[in-house]
Amino acid sequence: MKKSLLIIGFACFNLMVSAQEKSTLQLNKSNVKQVIKALTLEEKVKLVVGMGMYIPGAPAGLLPPNDPEDDKIAPKIPGTSGRTHAVTRLGIPSITLSDGPAGIHFLDLTNAKPKYATAIPIGTLLASTWDTIMTQKAGEILGREAKEYGIDIVLTPAFNIQRNPLGGRNFEYYSEDPFLSGTIAAAVTNGIQKQGIGVSVKHFAANNTETNRMKLNTIVSERALREIYLKGFEIAVKKSNPWTLMTSYNLINGIYTSESKDLITNILRKEWGFRGLVMSDWFAGQNAALSLSAGNDLQMPGRPDQTQTIFNAAKKGSLSMTDLDASVERVLNLIVKSITFNKYNYSNKPDLTANAAVSRTIASEGMVLLKNDKALPLPKSSTIALFGNASYDIIAGGTGSGDVVKKYTISLDEGLVNSGFKLQQNTKSIYEDYVKYENTKRPVPSFMDVFNPFTIKEMPVKTEMITAAVAKSDVAIITISRLSGESKDRKVADDFNLTDTEKQTLQTLSESFHAQNKKVIVVINAGGVIEMESWSHLTDAILMAWQPGMEGGNAIADILSGKVNPSGKLTATFPIAYLDVPSSQNFPGKQFPLKEGEILDPVMPTYPAEITYDDDIYVGYRYFNTKKVKTAYEFGFGLSYTQFAYGDIKLNSTDFKDKITATISIKNTGKVAGKEVVQLYLTAPTGKLKKPAEELKGFAKTKLLQPNESQTISFTLTQSELASYDPTLSSWIAEAGKYTIKIGASSLDINQTKEFGLKKDRVLK
């Protein structure tokens, strides 16, 4: 989508590939090279530029087809994100790509006959499970649904680093930590690809800001790039062999990522051994021929000017035939793996009921209990006074390409009733009327809404309404909600910080309910971090429920009722104040005026801009822990309804040779069954390179441990986990000295430590 109007002026270039007869040579898995020889230049160019984007209901001319002939070919499902071209004479079919991270996404503004998909929880919630089995299951849902709709590639996982809490797409992403991000991305990828459907790991790389996203130049040191912004991709590539990868919109140190040979060919392919296809983000980059030479095989969704540029460059020789053929080969290698090529007989009927049930389980596993002063779990007989718009109109996920068309959403009111609780009726009906009325103001869906989502303003609550509710209920629950999405970053006022209305309601709830010895519970229905320090004392319990997908209300009720013992942990630091965040000084970067002749895209206004990552490798807890800055809730934090005891760490050696194994036993010492997320941090010696106080190098979630039950967990560290990137050597180096393994329940709640030594520096190429 998105670059839209800018492309209207391009000359429409038709390659005039005349209808040709079916050749005796037909593509199969073993004749790709032969087929390439049989392709004309025009056909090769077709294969490396997508068919354009078709959004039913989008204003005419906004997204012109790459080739007018393409208009005649109906998509499998209206509103998929893109397709590749077919070359039918050689038996090459067109394959279909669609988003995305929280469910299969179709953008059909006519809403004629919507195809529904399961809206699973957002990426941040998935990662907050710290559970690779659970996140693989999320991937399986995406893979199964894509397969039954005939979609070949799902454009996920998205796992850029959550560098700053205001990042508009943080909800799609996993964490501020690359090890956690890459490991979860690999699990999601494995889940999808197990179904014979490809993924596109995205957005490669250093795409951590939405403001001016198509022209933002990220200035970042080589060390930070390697250790923070590329590391997750390296892990995902090595652990899960993704079929495709998507480059990002931004530039890194002056070069568009989609045009960077260093990034795509040298690092991704040569160093990491990536064997898949690289595609651009939608309408990204400047010069399609440069992009191909850099190793970015497929221009998506495909524009007429890109076809023209590549064709001309190939004719002139500025794009080598070897580079073009290499990209064509990768496109064909992808096609032969696809369900379309392999003629999978898709049903158009994924099992949405079964998938919704799995989605509910995943959702409850990733919610994070932040505070609990004997308020939860709720007694079964409770009558609840339920406040907050989102309690009655939950935000299932974020907006943009990560949005999902779902058949229903379960809000918290329904979830609580389904769990057997009673709701205080007066509060419920006032909110329901308000939400219903405000929803009538919702604009008719249009293309512009994709980037300007509508949210209902929080209802101001009169003190009398609260006073009346106290008398007729046992407990108050209030949901605080936030919505964000693609192409815009969040703000500090009234978003990261609470609004005056929210503060006022919380204050009155706290005074009124506490005066009667009744508890006040806050549920946060948001895609990212918000300020909590100034108001958490007003509450008895806080549950970070994230944006939990279509079964959200049921999943929240599962936690509040104690049916599920919370086991999620934070994947990003919750600072006391926004200004405590190291990147707050230079987010979202500097904006420059348009260059002469440049046009401002009215759909997604983007100015040339620049952002400097002067927090370097000190992102998130790497900063807070090293500089000992207090947080509201630290990275890795999360409570349970039970307690766990950590045994001693046993190391298999005190000297590091090629690897080292740490073993620890975890025991449930409380009264109810529960799961613990066990985290391993490493403190490396400071030699030539400065090191953060600690870095996550391993994690595991226990099985459901019954009271008094134990489980032994092992972690193995290899040399790469010990190493930091030394730009002067262009190498990873594990420096000699003393290393400390720290195992605990969060990045600050360390229960056990053990040291080992490395005798000599190890340089890893």
* Beta carbon nearer to ligand BGC, 401 or 510: 401
- Asked if 173 is part of the footprint of ligand BGC (rule: CB under 6 A), the reply reads no
- Asked if 81 is part of the footprint of ligand BGC (rule: CB under 6 A), the reply reads yes
- Asked if 99 is part of the footprint of ligand BGC (rule: CB under 6 A), the reply reads yes
Q: DSSP of 195-250, one letter per residue?
A: TT-EEEEEEES-----TTTTSEEEE--HHHIIIIIIHHHHHHHHHH--SEEEE-SS
Give me the least distance between CB of 150 and ligand BGC, in Å please.
18
Rounded Cα gap, residues 364 and 294, in angstroms = 43
> How do strand 475-481 and strand 519-525 relate by DSSP bridges?
parallel
Choosing from 70, 131, 177, 281, which is the catalytic residue? 281
Residues numbered 278 to 297 that lie near ligand BGC (CB under 6 A) are 281-282
Give me the least distance between CB of 472 and ligand BGC, in Å please.
47
The residue to which tokens 């000017």 are assigned: 305
- Asked if 218 is part of the footprint of ligand BGC (rule: CB under 6 A), the reply reads no
* Beta carbon nearer to ligand BGC, 232 or 582: 232
Phi, psi values for residue 185, rounded to 5°? -60, -40
Residues numbered 715 to 754 that lie near ligand BGC (CB under 6 A) are none
**Residue 411, SS3?**
coil
- Asked if 144 is part of the footprint of ligand BGC (rule: CB under 6 A), the reply reads no
Phi, psi values for residue 723, rounded to 5°? -90, 150
Nearest to 615 by CA among 636, 591, 584, 589: 584
- Asked if 202 is part of the footprint of ligand BGC (rule: CB under 6 A), the reply reads yes
Angle at 419 between CA 417 and CA 424, to 5 degrees: 35
Give me the least distance between CB of 389 and ligand BGC, in Å please.
28
- Asked if 484 is part of the footprint of ligand BGC (rule: CB under 6 A), the reply reads no
Q: Which two tokens stand for residue 461?
A: 């609550």
Query: CA 84: distance to chain centroid?
Result: 25
Residues numbered 653 to 682 that lie near ligand BGC (CB under 6 A) are none
Determine if the peptide bond prior to 396 is cis (ω within 30°): no
Phi, psi values for residue 732, rounded to 5°? -85, 140
Residues numbered 514 to 553 that lie near ligand BGC (CB under 6 A) are none
Give me the least distance between CB of 490 and ligand BGC, in Å please.
17
Per-residue CA distances from 264 to 158, 216, 437 (Å): 17, 19, 51
* Beta carbon nearer to ligand BGC, 2 or 667: 2
* Beta carbon nearer to ligand BGC, 281 or 634: 281
Give me the least distance between CB of 4 and ligand BGC, in Å please.
11
Tell me whether residue 449 is one of the annotated catalytic residues: no
Give me the least distance between CB of 702 and ligand BGC, in Å please.
34
Per-residue CA distances from 223 to 589, 671, 730 (Å): 20, 46, 9
Q: Are 404 and 103 in contact (CB under 8 A)?
A: yes
* Beta carbon nearer to ligand BGC, 157 or 698: 157
* Beta carbon nearer to ligand BGC, 198 or 744: 198
Q: Are 366 and 126 in contact (CB under 8 A)?
A: yes
Per-residue CA distances from 714 to 98, 136, 689 (Å): 38, 21, 29
Per-residue CA distances from 649 to 240, 572, 712, 716, 718 (Å): 30, 26, 10, 13, 17
Give me the least distance between CB of 1 and ligand BGC, in Å please.
6
Q: Of the candidates 155, 268, 278, 396, which one interacts with ligand BGC according to CB under 6 A?
A: 155
- Asked if 634 is part of the footprint of ligand BGC (rule: CB under 6 A), the reply reads no
- Asked if 401 is part of the footprint of ligand BGC (rule: CB under 6 A), the reply reads yes
Nearest to 550 by CA among 357, 714, 719, 736: 357
Give me the least distance between CB of 448 and ligand BGC, in Å please.
15
* Beta carbon nearer to ligand BGC, 398 or 698: 398
Q: Which two tokens stand for residue 417?
A: 């009733």
* Beta carbon nearer to ligand BGC, 3 or 569: 3
The number of residues that bind ligand BGC (CB under 6 A) is 11
Q: Are 492 and 529 in contact (CB under 8 A)?
A: no
* Beta carbon nearer to ligand BGC, 62 or 492: 62
Give me the least distance between CB of 457 and ligand BGC, in Å please.
28
Report the interface residues with ligand BGC, using CB under 6 A: 1-2, 81, 99-100, 155, 202, 281-282, 401, 486
| Catalytic residue positions, numbered | 281
